[in-house]
Amino acid sequence: MNIRARITGAFLATVLSTTAFNGAFAADDTIKVGILHSLSGTMAISETTLKDAMLMLIDEQNKKGGLLGKKLEAVVVDPASDWPLFAEKARELVSVDKVSAVFGCWTSVSRKSVLPVFEELNSILFYPVQYEGEESQRNVFYTGAAPNQQAVPAVDYLMENESVERWVLAGTDYVYPRTTNKILEAYLISKGVKPEDIMINYTPFGHSDWQTIVSDIKKFGSAGKKTAVVSTINGDANVPFYKELANQGVKAEDIPVVAFSVGEEELAGLDTTPLVGHLAAWNYFQSVDTPANAEFIKTWKAYTKNDKRVTNDPMEAHYIGFNMWLKAVEKAGTTDTDAVLDAMIGVSVPNLSGGYSTMMPNHHITKPVLIGEIQSDGQFETVWETPGLVVGDEWSDYLPDSKDLIADWRAPMSCGNFNVATGKCGGKGS
């Protein structure tokens, strides 16, 4: 017998048995919650915070006595910013660790990668990040903003309050900016903006040399019309972008930049003094002055033992999503997926900006939209707010192919892409 072969066999056997028995020994006196956020790799920069936030929420809930009389137990894995690994880890969480729900993902591609897993194994995912929409899946709850909860109101604000006539839509070349810009372009043209007054620019991930593009923006902005930049630039590339803006002297008073992916966390890496007045659109700012938020920030700082840790919008989304899930499980009296899925729709919990967010039948939630200006202390000052709550619109009304689609997961329709023109559900389960 060959030792090499023996070792190979032994290894396979070990992996097999250890992982298989993991599942067999799953304790029954706790309810497990999966946390699927990258702790290493390129996305760790954004996602690690969300892991901490979830751990805190679970911790707090356990202090309040857990759920259905059981303690909650967090299961943390590291999908390492590797998209196929997201699918593998999701599968592991659901089928090996037997978690009742998973909170996780940041990028669209990671969500796309795990969708089939949740569908196949019939489990629940809470997705906390603003995204491009064009999706509604039975097993996923979207607690971040859809484009109509962020992008469109921001553009409205700039048109009305800053009388902007010329638009630069700058983004990283991936689906979220592409879609958002497509929606915005259609929206702007419907509002009478001329196509030549719209400049669209895409850059690669992690782009760090912004000299040419900032100078192009300045050039575009010197045509005698008030110009604004709508930025869907992704996380990492923002710091060098803002540094270049500041250095080339693009002031918010002249060419304001409104961003959809820049929050408190991103600004923590920047000296914001030269950026005062640039804008961001979110559904939550740390500076929101409500008792619930003050409490949340206090708990967060205590939990992380760091007085400088900031809070941000996706954290609030997890806060809302987690509380909704708790409520739905209590309502259903079980963590059984189908029962919870039914119970979720219509659940309403307080958000951190002083109102209530409700889970709609399309698995998106209602949120207020806030426009904030960057302050010199790295926080946002809310300068405008939608008068009421905005319902997340999964299929955009401004895209020709999706304007006829709606999602409604209540029986009897129970469909994620119902075509109101043809009266048919487009594809079962997609």
Partner 1 sequence: MITSFLFKNLDRGIIVVVAILLGLAVAIPALNLLTAPDHPFHVPTYLVSLFGKYLTYALLALALDLVWGFCGILSLGHAAFFALGGYAMGMYLMRQIGARGSYGNPLLPDFMVFLNWKELPWFWQGFDMFWFAALMVVLVPGLLAFVFGWFAFRSRVNGVYLSIITQAMTYALLLAFFRNDMGFGGNNGLTDFKDILGFNIQAQTTRAALFAASAVTLASCLVLTTAIVRSKYGKVLVAVRDAESRTRFLGYRVEHIKLFAFTVSAMMAGIAGALYVPQVGIINPGEFEPGNSIEVVIWTAVGGRGTLIGPIVGAILVNGGKSIFTAAFPEFWLFALGGLFVFVTLFLPKGVVGTVSAYLARRKAQGRAADADKLVAEPMAAE
Partner 2 sequence: MYRILQTLLITLCLLVSVHVTGLRAADDLAALVATLGTAKLSELDDRIDALARSGDARVIPVLEALGEGNLYTRKADGSVFLTTEKGASLVLLDPLSGAEIGEAAKGDIQKIKVNNSVRRAVRSALSGLTLFSTDTSARLKAAQSMRQTPNADALEAIETALAAEKDATVRKTLDEARAVTLLISDRSDDDKRAAIKTLAESGGREALGVLTSALSSADASLKPDIEAALQQIEQAQVFWNAGQNVWYGLSLGSVLLLAAIGLAITFGVMGIINMAHGEMVMLGAYTTFIVQDVIRTSYPVLFDWSLAIALPLAFLVTGIIGLAIERSVIRFLYGRPLETLLATWGISLILQQSVRSIFGPTNREVGNPSWMAGAFELGGLTITWNRMWIIVFALAVFAALLFLLKRTSMGLKMRAVTQNRRMASSMGIRTPLVDALTFALGSGIAGMAGVALSQIDNVSPNLGQGYIIDSFMVVVFGGVGNLWGTLVGAFSLGILNKFLEPYAGAVLGKILVLVLIILFIQKKPRGLFALKGRAVEA
The interface mask with partner 2, positions 136-175, x = CB under 8 A, is -------------------------xx----------x--
Question: 22 or 163: whose CB is closer to partner 1?
Answer: 22
Examine residue 194 and tell whether it contacts partner 2 (CB under 8 A): no
Specify the stretch interacting with partner 1 by CB under 8 A; choose among 77-85, 139-147, 238-246, 379-387: 77-85
Examine residue 5 and tell whether it contacts partner 1 (CB under 8 A): yes
Scanning residues 146 to 205, which ones bind partner 1 (CB under 8 A)?
173-175, 178-179, 182, 202, 204-205
Report phi then psi at 7, rounded to 5: -65, -45
d(CA 238, CA 177): 14
Which of partner 1, partner 2, none has residue 253 at its interface (CB below 5 to 8 Å by kind)? partner 2
Candidates 77, 99, 158, 237: give the one binding partner 1 (CB under 8 A).
77
Residues found in the chain = 430
- Whether the CB-CB separation of 230 and 167 falls below 8 Å is answered with yes
Sequence-ordered list of residues with C-beta below 8 angstroms from that of 54, at least 6 positions apart, any chain: 33, 35, 37, 74, 103, 318, 322
User: Residue 380: beta bridge partners?
Assistant: 374
Scanning residues 18 to 37, which ones bind partner 1 (CB under 8 A)?
18-20, 23
Candidates 83, 162, 277, 391: give the one binding partner 1 (CB under 8 A).
83
Which of partner 2, partner 1, none has residue 265 at its interface (CB below 5 to 8 Å by kind)? partner 2
Q: Which long-range contacts (CB under 8 A, 24 or more apart) does 342-350 make?
A: 344/141, 345/409, 345/410, 349/320, 349/323, 349/324, 350/292, 350/323
CB of 382 to partner 2, least distance (A): 9
Candidates 265, 313, 394, 408: give the one binding partner 2 (CB under 8 A).
265
The amino acid occupying position 270 is L
Which of partner 1, partner 2, none has residue 130 at its interface (CB below 5 to 8 Å by kind)? none
d(CA 327, CA 231): 36
Question: 410 or 424: whose CB is closer to partner 1?
Answer: 424
- Whether the CB-CB separation of 106 and 129 falls below 8 Å is answered with yes
CB of 427 to partner 1, least distance (A): 4
Sequence-ordered list of residues with C-beta below 8 angstroms from that of 401, at least 6 positions apart, any chain: none
The interface mask with partner 2, positions 213-242, x = CB under 8 A, is x-xx-xx-xxxxx----------x--xx--
d(CA 129, CA 145): 7
Handedness of CA 155, 250, 278, 300 (dihedral sign): positive
d(CA 191, CA 173): 25
The interface mask with partner 2, positions 330-369, x = CB under 8 A, is ----------------------------------------
d(CA 144, CA 370): 14
User: Residue 349: beta bridge partners?
Assistant: 357
Helical segments of 76-227, H only: 83-91, 108-121, 151-161, 175-190, 211-220
Q: Which residues make up the interface to partner 1 (CB under 8 A)?
A: 1-5, 7-9, 11-12, 15-16, 18-20, 23, 39-40, 76-80, 82-85, 87-89, 91-92, 95-96, 107-109, 112-113, 115-117, 119-120, 134-135, 173-175, 178-179, 182, 202, 204-205, 399-402, 405, 416-417, 419, 424, 426-428, 430
Q: Which residues make up the interface to partner 2 (CB under 8 A)?
A: 39-42, 44-46, 48-49, 161-162, 173, 201-204, 206-209, 211-213, 215-216, 218-219, 221-225, 236, 239-240, 243-244, 246-249, 252-254, 256, 265-266, 268-271, 274, 276-277, 373, 375-376, 378, 381, 383
